[in-house]
Amino acid sequence: MLAHRPDEVIGLGLDGAEAIDPPEQFVEAYRLARQGGLRLTAHACEDAPPVNITTCLDLLGRERIDHGYYVLDDERVLARARDEGIVFTVAPTATAICYFTADLAAHPIRAMVEQGLSVVLNTDDPPMFATDLGSEYALMCTAAGWGPDQVRQLCLNGVDGAWLDDDERRDLRRSFERELDELEAQLDPDSGAPGS
């Protein structure tokens, strides 16, 4: 892929069942990808212990983690992820169906946010799970009781985790902040809901 890399390919990810394909099997692929200038992410701790996050950070050199729910099971890994500002892209609907309860208020995503992790709401196989990004925000934020301030933070975490150069990230952040300010100005101050 690196020898015939199209412009659209900017990064390498890893997903699948971690028990049978743990991240340490892919050290060489990630080394080559990093040398080739690709950005790096990996599914980790979606259905496996927190050691997989440590492996992804230390051996794969990845920049962010997809899922990561079981980071909550190890205080050391949790503290490291928080201290290093690791961005976690999470998928409420898909993982509620496959791994957790349908009650999103009890989903580990809520505890990840409460523990101060940098979380970005996302989708996972939207056609399979009949969802989209707007639905994920509406469902998860409603279930967790998150208001405009938390929604803003989730959105800006997405900017922080995006694979952009510094100038592009600054521009995108300004654009998001402007749009979020405009949206918040439309809210009813008493309810946090859109005004009439």
Instruction: Kindly state the tokens that stand for 36.
Output: 């080739």
The DSSP bridge pattern shows strands 64-67 and 11-12 to be: unpaired
Cβ–Cβ < 8 Å for 140, 165:
no
Active site residue ranges: 46
For residue 56, which of 20, 30, 36 has the smallest C-alpha distance? 30
Percent of the chain that is helix, strand, coil (3-state, to 5):
55, 10, 35
What does the DSSP assignment read for 96-131?
A: HHHTS-S-GGGSHHHHHHHTT-EEEE--SSHHHHT-
What is the bridge-based pairing of β-strands 118-121 and 39-44?
Answer: unpaired
